[in-house]
Structure 1
Amino acid sequence: MRFLSVAAMLAVGLVGGQAAAQQVIKIGVVGPLTGAFAAVGQSQLTGAELRAKEINAAGGKYRIELVSEDDGSNCDQSVNATVKLITKDNVVAVLGAMNSPCALAMVPITKRYRTPQFTAGVGTSITKQGSDYVFRIAVGATAQTKELAGFAVEKLGQTKIAVLYSDDEYGASMANGFKEALAARNLQPAAFESFPRADQDFTGQLSRVKASGATGLYTIGAYTASALIAKQAKQLGLSLQLLGDTGNASPKYIELGGDAVEGAVLVEPFTPADPDPTLQAFGKRYREQYGRDADGWVAELYDTVEIIHQAVQKTGKIDRQAVRDYAANLKAGGNSFSGILGNWSFDQTGEVSFALYKVQVKGGAKVILAR
């Protein structure tokens, strides 16, 4: 009996020690799992989920727990979800939102509660609010449009490009960034047209694009809108070189646009077309789990979960300030983070930097033109 009691005590102690050794890192995820941007929200969640599963399967001192909230691209819901995740779920960081207006609406909340916010929203204003707690994990509007405009003019020979954009933070940031990039080359948009975010009829704007004599068209908005614009342009007999930023890099853009988006040139931070063995292995793991190709959002969130994991591992603290300080100290030239998207570093405003691919839609797939 004495032997059994000692054995039992040892067993309890062993189990208790294992439980105590593995600590939980809670990470909040805010994004659209329903509505027009649902595919983007799914990329966000599954990218984070894949890395969390890998970390948890490997064992170790820490395990990741994701707490996901669907905001349906409604910014009030984004704000409410952020408050809940921070005050009730006690997350160490918030991933989101995917939509720029909603990410912007969340910034005062994450700043107030001193909680690091990692967002793929590209609207220029997001990192201009004086918050030390917001980090952009996607290449911002200014850098994206500079690369896209430069490639369109210098490599594709497009000098008469019309711009058609959604009238929200994302659309305006991208449209104005592109306009500035053209101005740096002594060019102006052939047409500069906006549309309400929920619009589905673009014939008026496209008629003005046609009258402008444009040979290229840069569309900014939900990938659903951009695909619809491409179809309506084709119906109107317009033959234009389509251009798109990372917002159109979703596989859904090609699926919805069909033949109308054939030949479109896009920029994106990750592409399944890259033959690099590490990226191919990552893409294979993702396809096996989710039955589709990974995109830039998947890769961005995958890497971000690992950044948070490393922050906790290296500081030994499941602490919001520790995660914030670790991310803020990722700098180019020796202290960057190496992930699927290459070497990550943040500037003093929280802007990330990594290279973008220029890809073209050919035969319903993406082909790399340059990086």
Structure 2
Amino acid sequence: MKKLRSVLSLILVASMVLALLSSCTAGADNDEDSPIKIAVAFPMTGDQAEYGQSFLLAAQIKVDEWNAKGGVLGRAIELVSYDDKNSSEEAATIAQKIVSTPDIVGVLGHFSSGVSMVAAPIYEENQVIEISNTASHPDYSSIGDYIFRNNAVISNEFEVIESLLTEDLKLSKVGIVAIKTDWGTTAGAIAADMIRNNDALTLVGHEEVVEGSDDYSLVIAKLKEAGAEAVISVGMYALIAPLARQYKAVDPDIQILGLSNSYAQQLIELGGEATEGIIFPVSFYSDPQNPEIKRFVDAYVESFGSEPSALAAQAYDSIGILLEAIKANGNLDRPSLRDTLNNITYPGITGETKFDAIGDATKNYTKLIVKDGNFVPYEN
């Protein structure tokens, strides 16, 4: 982690210098000697800093790859980093700064759906492309024509989980444990509707909890008494790891299912043997047989010390998609760049990505299961 902090500190310092310089160079986008700048806006401090820092690192890896080949349109590429602290108020302020900086051509961010949806109207009004690699709220991408999502729509992930329950696992009594946040409440409600609308499934309980709690015993007792055969964890690894550990201590046979945002090596590190058998859909996993994935994973591990999450991989691909659009467009005109981005088909490490009419990326999913302390395809 010391090495990671050193790497990120250098990136952040460079980004802050670039941000200061850009405020004095409103016409830099027309200067062929100046770098093409992309904003990266995530929590770099606070409880969610680990995610923001990992996304910045993934984005920087992609930028370094392009710069090693000459950049784009004959110009170097620079990331300008902003710390929104996963705060809606801070994100709104940062969005105003970004749209007031003419030489920033697009934004990778923000982290949570709620924060992204506060900033998005500001970008839309000012014709600045925003790509979020994490926002999953159904309404996010419909905010405007300049708003794109390189992440799963949460309802699509639940469709995969629904098929797992009914077709693969043949389980019917399902409980939900969701984190008590705007995103968790919304996603939990979508999961509950999915279960209620399927005659083969029965919702036996729907509980909200504080992520990172040391004690989920009351929630577990309720679901166990209700006869839950499977539990959907609506949260990241900080929820699913302790939930699995505590639940399997009283019911070793419980089937736990997660979402793609819980795919991270830290899940296994925190949950240990209790994570065995957890299943979730992902658009990315560290497949050593894929040379493109291996190159990214190796570069990421060298700096971060652990393997990238699916969300970090989506940050890497999001920058790649934007750079491909800039290259194909041939210039930085914002309306034409938006149109080009709408028509790009990008073969990235998270699969082939193309944005639909409202800016959602179509994704194919792999079902992963934890087996013998490793993530492996469920079909195997």
Q: TM-score range by the shorter chain?
A: 0.7 to 0.9
Match of 1:96 among 109, 117, 120: 109
Given that 2:36 and 2:104 are in contact with CA atoms closer than 8 Å, whether structure 1 keeps it comes out as yes
Percent identity over the alignment? Answer: 27
Query: How many Å apart are 1:196 and its aligned residue?
Result: 4.7
Given that 2:109 and 2:130 are in contact with CA atoms closer than 8 Å, whether structure 1 keeps it comes out as yes
The residue type equivalent to 1:111 in the other structure is E
Partner SS, residue 378 of structure 2: strand
Q: Which residue of 2 aligns with 1:28?
A: 39
Q: Which residue of 1 aligns with 2:153?
A: 140
Q: Which residue of 2 aligns with 1:178?
A: 191
Question: CA RMSD for the aligned pairs?
Answer: 2.3
Partner SS, residue 139 of structure 2: helix
Query: How many Å apart are 1:92 and its aligned residue?
Result: 1.0
Q: Determine whether 1:325 maps to 2:334.
A: no
Q: Which residue of 2 aligns with 1:361?
A: 370
Q: Determine whether 1:118 maps to 2:131.
A: yes
Change (3 A) 1:22 1:144: farther
The residue type equivalent to 1:367 in the other structure is V
Give, in whole Å, the separation in 1 of the partners of 2:32 and 2:92: 34
Query: How many Å apart are 1:132 and its aligned residue?
Result: 1.2
Given that 1:163 and 1:192 are in contact with CA atoms closer than 8 Å, whether structure 2 keeps it comes out as yes
The residue type equivalent to 1:273 in the other structure is D
**CA deviation map 1:320-371 (0-9, x unaligned):** 33332222223xxxxx222222221111111111211111112322011149
Matches within 5 A, 1:1-371: 21-60=32-71, 61-88=74-101, 90-119=103-132, 120-129=134-143, 131-186=144-199, 187-196=201-210, 201-237=215-251, 239-273=253-287, 275-330=289-344, 336-370=345-379
Given that 2:43 and 2:111 are in contact with CA atoms closer than 8 Å, whether structure 1 keeps it comes out as yes
Query: How many Å apart are 1:198 and its aligned residue?
Result: 7.2
How many residue pairs match? The answer is 346
The residue type equivalent to 2:364 in the other structure is A
The residue type equivalent to 2:230 in the other structure is G
Query: How many Å apart are 1:274 and its aligned residue?
Result: 5.6
Partner SS, residue 227 of structure 1: helix
**CA deviation map 1:123-157 (0-9, x unaligned):** 2221243x111111011101111112211321122
**CA deviation map 1:37-80 (0-9, x unaligned):** 33322331121110101111112502211111222322222222
Q: TM-score, normalised by structure 1?
A: 0.85
Change (3 A) 1:78 1:226: farther
Give, in whole Å, the separation in 2 of the partners of 1:288 and 1:199: 31
Give, in whole Å, the separation in 2 of the partners of 1:344 and 1:236: 42
Give, in whole Å, the separation in 2 of the partners of 1:219 and 1:86: 37
Given that 1:150 and 1:181 are in contact with CA atoms closer than 8 Å, whether structure 2 keeps it comes out as no
Change (3 A) 1:205 1:89: farther
Query: How many Å apart are 1:23 and its aligned residue?
Result: 4.3
Give, in whole Å, the separation in 1 of the partners of 2:172 and 2:68: 52
Partner SS, residue 310 of structure 1: helix
Give, in whole Å, the separation in 1 of the partners of 2:342 and 2:141: 13
Change (3 A) 1:364 1:320: farther
Q: TM-score, normalised by structure 2?
A: 0.83
Give, in whole Å, the separation in 2 of the partners of 1:65 and 1:277: 26
Change (3 A) 1:269 1:103: same
Given that 1:28 and 1:85 are in contact with CA atoms closer than 8 Å, whether structure 2 keeps it comes out as yes
Q: Which runs of 5+ in 2 are unaligned?
A: 1-30
The residue type equivalent to 1:263 in the other structure is G
**CA deviation map 1:14-40 (0-9, x unaligned):** xxxxxx655422111111233333332
Give, in whole Å, the separation in 2 of the partners of 1:34 and 1:208: 36
Partner SS, residue 213 of structure 1: coil
Give, in whole Å, the separation in 2 of the partners of 1:197 and 1:300: 23
List structure 1 runs of 4+ shifted beyond 6 angstroms: none
